[in-house]
Amino acid sequence: MSTLTPTRAPHDEGARTPREASDAGRVGGGLFDPKQLLRSLPDAVRKLDPRVMVKSPVMFVVLVGSVVTTALAIKNPGDWFGWAITAWLWLTTIFANLAEAVAEGRGKAQADTLRKAKTDTVARRITGGDEERVPGTELRVGDLVVCEAGDTIPGDGDVVEGVASVDESAITGESAPVIRESGGDRSAVTGGTKVLSDRIVIKITTKPGETFIDRMINLVEGAARQKTPNEIALNILLASLTIVFLLAVVTLKPFAIYAGADGQTSMIVLAALLVCLIPTTIGALLSAIGIAGMDRLVQRNVLAMSGRAVEAAGDVSTLLLDKTGTITLGNRQAAEFVPVKGTTGAEVANAAQLSSLADETPEGRSIVVLAKERYGLRERHQGELAHAEWIAFTAQTRMSGVDLTENGEERKVRKGATGSVVAWVKENGGHVAEDAQALTDTISQAGGTPLLVAVQDGEGARVLGVIHLKDVVKEGMRERFDELRRMGIKTIMITGDNPLTAKAIAEEAGVDDFLAEATPEDKMALIKREQAGGKLVAMTGDGTNDAPALAQADVGVAMNTGTSAAKEAGNMVDLDSDPTKLIEIVEIGKQLLITRGALTTFSIANDVAKYFAIIPAMFAVAYPGLDKLNIMQLASPESAILSAVIFNALIIIALVPLALKGVRYRPTSADTMLRRNLGLYGLGGLVAPFIGIKIIDLLLSLIPGIG
């Protein structure tokens, strides 16, 4: 491995979070819940507006075809075939719009939930040292407002004074309150959340109507969803195919006249042929696939600022992951008590436990627990040592401990950094075991943190041993990194630790590389180097010092607990503030791209099969040799064409659940994925129309006058 080292308090039960609202939309009847379909149907009809349909060239052609066949059917009202084709072409158009309307409907349900969290509040603005009450809508960037327990925060901003407990359950869905304080990386607050305790002063950072909740509402509704570069490119491809098939169908008319088969190529038949040959399936589902990708992120409490970010996540080839809280638990835990020569592990454990009774840090509590579990030492409490003098840890002494009297004998116990404890022992006339330094060096080289334990009693001052503190790697991280490696993604751990510690953690976690003693400049330089090699880079961050790197990364995921600067710089915000979610975001992005590719493959394969259903039936009379291509032996030309049109409409509805749910993603190589998609969706797209059209043809043949 190389180194890159540069030398919710309980909330209102009536309110639901975006994730809960999205989940609720799938309860019961699922995607085809009649109520959900009925709610979406008016939107699907409204989308028949040509100004809306023209945004999708393929479906706009279907709309024009529907209008043309309608006019021809009205002109010849006794032509049942014309009316049947017209009805199914209109259904095809409505079904296509319904797919998008259902996807948007789920977003609107989430937006309605967010609107409940958005309230018009009265703000206590500080003006010239005095407070004045003003509507929240009158606040401007830079205004200072005061919020106390029970107040609703009137707008997005940063805490500049004080510390408070805040209920963010209306946005994140987490019932546990969070702490927001001035300074540091946990100062950002969101308008619409509620202060539960204490008093804070907030500096407003957004204009009314541009708050975090406003942006969320616009995004989940789809109002701010712009087509991604890949989506635009695919639309251009589909439009090009449509033009090619349009020209091909237009030329069929003169050929039919020349062959004496003009009766088989009426305008209604040609319109039906065109709709069946152009890629209507993917044209109908393309927008729904993009909306569903954003929806899947919202379900996981991730807000994507653009569809481009979701798509970029699917193409990411380098992941930058912060060590603390992402790869490791973030709290060092006691792993072992190592005695020096002449002492025992039990002696070290007893002294370490005593010196940690007043230490309420996670490290201190883990020492007490390990001593109890490993050596059976009863967990004592401060109350049992009424006359003990507790020595608190300070940055100056870098030690903590206790002075007490046991069995009439005075005893002092200390634990802390190696240099500080050694100096304390020597100051008290004691000696340091020869192997103490070697033990601490061994632990440091293994990626751990050594704490020396020393005691002063009747035998003098001396070092008893070393506590091995270990930054525990989260369970399952190695397996997840193995998955990412199979996906072709390089993982780089970023940490402020020294190179030795960073190397040990990186090897245990299974990341590909690491950047130790990282500064903001180092992160930026690393991202630029990766991007210069043609790679897309993703990273997480929460502090102001992470903002430049988040802005530079192709996918920058800012933590909701972080600063406003970080959230503005990134193109995604994780409402749960879980750095490991970056891995899920990459998987969702890849699922979006795979779904789009799979359904495009299926759609084009469908067109090939429908060609063999319609063309032979149309020209078999004029060119008997074409009857050999009529491999399905359809009942009649009318039945063949109508069966293909009906199948073309029904397959859109059948594929809506797949478009919204997404094709299941499995970590694998690009070659394996391509072969699987071609085999499943390519071959399936060829076979399904033959089966479906034949079944529909058999059913139509039972109707008098058609067969």
Annotated binding site for Mg(2+): 542, 546
Q: Residue 585: which H helix or E strand, with range? A: helix 581-619
Q: Tell me if 622 sits within 8 A of 671, measured CB to CB.
A: no
Contact 603, 282 (CB under 8 A): yes
* Catalytic option among 167, 214, 295, 322: 322
Helix (H, G, I), strand (E, B) or coil at 277: helix
Cα-based distances in Å from 519 to 114, 497, 511, 642: 37, 11, 20, 67
Is residue 403 annotated as a catalytic residue, yes or no? no
Convert 643-678 to b/e letters by CB count within 10 Å (16 or more is b).
Answer: bbbbbbbbbbbebbebbbebbebebeeeeebeebbe
Query: Hey, what are 662's tokens?
Result: 């997404």
Alpha carbons 355 and 703: distance in angstroms, whole number: 90
Q: What one-character-per-residue DSSP string does 417-468 give?
A: -HHHHHHHHHHTT-B--TTHHHHHHHHHHTT-EEEEEEEEETTEEEEEEEEE
Contact 94, 652 (CB under 8 A): no
Exposed/middle/buried for residue 537 (C-beta within 10 Å: 0-12, 13-18, 19+): buried
Which residues, including other chains, have CB under 8 Å from residue 361's CB and lie 6 or more apart?
A: none
Q: Report the binding-site residues for ATP.
A: 359, 363, 393-400, 415
**CB 542, CB 561: distance < 8 Å:** yes
Q: Which long-range contacts (CB under 8 A, 24 or more apart) does 569-574 make?
A: 569/541, 570/305, 570/541, 571/304, 571/305, 571/306, 571/308, 571/309, 572/297, 572/302, 572/303, 572/304, 572/305, 572/309, 573/212, 573/302, 573/303, 573/305, 574/301, 574/302, 574/303, 574/540
DSSP type of residue 578: -
CA distance 255 to 690: 26
Helix (H, G, I), strand (E, B) or coil at 633: coil
| Strand 188-189 versus strand 157-167 pairing type | antiparallel
Residues of the binding site: 359, 363, 393-400, 415, 542, 546
Q: What angle do CA 476, 479, 483 make, to 5 degrees?
A: 135
Task: Spell out the residues 6+ positions from residue 13 whose beta carbon is closer than 8 angstroms to its own.
Answer: none
Q: Do the Cβ atoms of 369 and 363 come closer than 8 Å? A: no
First and final C-alpha spacing in the chain: 71
Cite the active site residues.
Answer: 322
